[in-house]
Amino acid sequence: MTVALAGCSGSDGGDVTLTLVAADYDPEGGDSTKRYWDGVAEAFEAENKGIKVDVTIHDWKDVDREVAEMVEAGKAPDIAQIGAYADYAADGKLYSVDEMLSIPVQANMLAPLAEAGEVGRVSYGIPFVASTRLLFYNQKLFTQAGLEPPKTWDGIETAAKALKARGVKYPFALPLGNEEAQAETMMWMLSNGGGYTDSVGTYTIDSEQNVQVFGWLRDTLVGEGLTGPVAPAELDRKPAFTAFANGEVGMLNGHPSLLQQAGKKGVKVGMVPLPGPKGKARSSMGVADWMMGFKQNGHASEIGKFLDFAYSDENVLKFADEYDLLPVTVSASEAMSADPAHKDLWPFLAALPESTLYPVGKTSWAKVSESVKKQIGTAVGPNGDPTGTLTAIGREASAMENAE
């Protein structure tokens, strides 16, 4: 009802209700994300009479699908904060960034992230929040086992075996379940010099490097019983992070939010760059989540006013503080880099400029990401076939790309 009313109200100069659909960042499954956006909306409405903002929050497992279904049903939200934008841009459903944001707000976006929001050299995706990924380990468990932080795959294997021998529930947590398997997958691809695409942007999902790393995961971490009681294909990121915060995980690939979650439970976290076969991976993984404005209801001006407000330093830093994530604006990043209170995040900030992001500018990426989520976990199972699984995903990706 809200969407239908919003679609009718803007053209005659009356009150406008903007619909915002956003992803849930609360690691405990609470309502902190909803409270954040409700607070932003309330403050915005107080300064902008005649514009209301209706907020809906969905779990990361569901939010991209929920928005896709809304768009398919002809009920697109005015604003979506989700994982991918390019397919909507290619279909002509999004406002360009310069149709929404003021010039000062556009200019304040970190350049590498802003450039990742382009399709055909036109910006449609606005980076919302960023993170980089490091290998996290439980310092107490490592000290008790007399272990050094791993620097290679062999080091991961050695540490995981030692932790298993000491009864650690998840020596190495490997979340390849539906929630965020595309991220875990990319981290391991990068660790072996691979990735989803090559240097010119062509999908290389079934490359030799990618097949090799998933063969190693299947035979070594999973095959040796080093990944814990839940099969990687069934393990989502959120329960893996919760288990780490509860002291049940020796190692996992983590992002900044986990620091706060673990700290609340008294778990001391060590962090190192994700190891490769012979040493540090050539590139770390960077992630930017995306904000976009849909054309359907014709609210470019109102959307722009709200997003200009949402991207103030106060709001950007408040959200980053809440979840230990990285801001996407120059001014907020500089403030975080200068504030000793954020010292724990400095390694993540330092890794961001040289990190590799998802191929989000590809209109096929959203569907390829879903394909990875559904299939990749089987590659490392007891009867897993990394070559077959990656070839199947790669074939689908190439077909989607050729259909663009």
Residue 3 has a pLDDT of 35
Q: Which pTM does this prediction carry? A: 0.78
Mean pLDDT value across residues 70-81: 97
pLDDT of 66 over the 80 cut: yes
Q: Which homologous superfamily is 2-130+287-354 in? A: Periplasmic binding protein-like II (3.40.190.10)
Antiparallel, parallel or unpaired: β 16-23 and 51-58: parallel
DSSP labels, 305-330: HHHHHHTSHHHHHHHHHHHT-B-SBH
Residue 1 has a pLDDT of 30
Q: Say which amino acid occupies 361.
A: G
pLDDT of 354 over the 80 cut: no
Tokens of 312: 């103030």
92-102 confidence digits (pLDDT tens) = 999 999 999 99
Mean pLDDT value across residues 257-278: 93
CA distances from 140 to 151, 168, 170, 237 (A): 18, 12, 14, 22
**What is the distance between the alpha carbons of residues 153 and 193, in angstroms, rounded to a whole number?**
13
Per-residue pLDDT band at 280 (split at 50, 70, 90): confident
pLDDT of 39 over the 80 cut: yes
**What is the distance between the alpha carbons of residues 323 and 330, in angstroms, rounded to a whole number?**
19
Residue 307 has a pLDDT of 98
Residue 355 has a pLDDT of 85
Helix (H) or strand (E) run with residue 118 in it? strand 118-119
pLDDT of 403 over the 80 cut: no
* Average pLDDT value for the chain: 92
373-388 confidence digits (pLDDT tens) = 999 999 999 899 999 9
Residue 281 has a pLDDT of 86
CA distances from 15 to 10, 48, 50 (A): 7, 11, 5
Mean pLDDT value across residues 288-310: 97
Phi, psi of 167 (to 5 degrees): 85, 15
Domain ranges of the chain: 2-130+287-354, 132-285+361-402
Helix (H) or strand (E) run with residue 102 in it? none
Residue 173 has a pLDDT of 98
Mean pLDDT value across residues 120-140: 94
Contacts 24+ apart (CB under 8 A), 202-205: 203/359, 203/368, 203/394, 203/397, 203/398, 203/401, 204/394, 205/368, 205/390, 205/393, 205/394, 205/397
Residue 8 has a pLDDT of 38
Per-residue pLDDT band at 27 (split at 50, 70, 90): confident
Q: Which residues contact 273 (CB under 8 A, 6 or more apart)?
A: 134, 135, 280, 281, 284, 351
Report yes or no: 395 and 387 within 8 Å, Cβ to Cβ: no
Domain topology for 132-285+361-402:
D-Maltodextrin-Binding Protein; domain 2 (3.40.190)
Residue 163 has a pLDDT of 98
252-264 confidence digits (pLDDT tens) = 999 888 998 999 9
Mean pLDDT value across residues 311-337: 94
Report yes or no: 156 and 276 within 8 Å, Cβ to Cβ: no
Residue 381 has a pLDDT of 94
Residue 155 has a pLDDT of 98
Report yes or no: 290 and 360 within 8 Å, Cβ to Cβ: yes
pLDDT of 316 over the 90 cut: yes
**What is the distance between the alpha carbons of residues 242 and 175, in angstroms, rounded to a whole number?**
12
Tokens of 45: 């409405």
- The sign one gets for the Cα dihedral 58, 288, 324, 35 is negative
CB atoms within 10 A of CB 230: 18
Mean pLDDT value across residues 283-297: 93
Residue 7 has a pLDDT of 36
pLDDT of 248 over the 60 cut: yes
Per-residue pLDDT band at 28 (split at 50, 70, 90): confident
Strand partners, 57: 22
Q: Are domains 2-130+287-354 and 132-285+361-402 of this chain identical in fold? A: yes
- DSSP letter, residue 360: T
Residue 404 has a pLDDT of 62
pLDDT of 5 over the 80 cut: no
Mean pLDDT value across residues 110-117: 88
Antiparallel, parallel or unpaired: β 170-172 and 79-82: unpaired
3-state secondary structure of 27: coil
Report yes or no: 337 and 327 within 8 Å, Cβ to Cβ: no
CA distances from 123 to 31, 79, 106, 342, 369 (A): 31, 15, 10, 30, 21
Per-residue pLDDT band at 11 (split at 50, 70, 90): very low
Per-residue pLDDT band at 6 (split at 50, 70, 90): very low
Of all residues in the chain, the percent with pLDDT exceeding 70 is 96
Q: Which residues contact 153 (CB under 8 A, 6 or more apart)?
A: 191, 216, 220, 275, 276, 277
**What is the distance between the alpha carbons of residues 362 and 124, in angstroms, rounded to a whole number?**
12
Q: Which residues contact 46 (CB under 8 A, 6 or more apart)?
A: none
Q: Which residues contact 111 (CB under 8 A, 6 or more apart)?
A: none
3-state secondary structure of 239: helix
Per-residue pLDDT band at 398 (split at 50, 70, 90): very high
Residue 14 has a pLDDT of 60
DSSP labels, 372-388: HHHHGGGGGSTT--HHH
Tokens of 195: 């990735």
